[in-house]
Amino acid sequence: MKSERDRYVKSLMEKYNIYNERELNSVATHEEYNKMIELELSVFRGA
């Protein structure tokens, strides 16, 4: 669900002290980035 992704992104932003999602994409680990994508895709799959 979209709000689950939003909560995950917010927690990563707090972890890295970043306030811009574009910057977050450049510092997130590969696993974190993949999880963000998976959560976004789950919205479209209706999961």
Structural domain spans, the chain: 2-45
- DSSP string across the chain: -HHHHHHHHHHHHHHHT---HHHHHHHS-HHHHHHHHHHHHHHHHT-
pLDDT digits (tens, 9 = 90+) for 26-42: 999 999 999 999 999 98
Higher local confidence (pLDDT), 12 or 44: 12
- Answer yes or no: pTM beyond 0.85: no
- Band (pLDDT 50/70/90 cuts) for residue 7 is very high
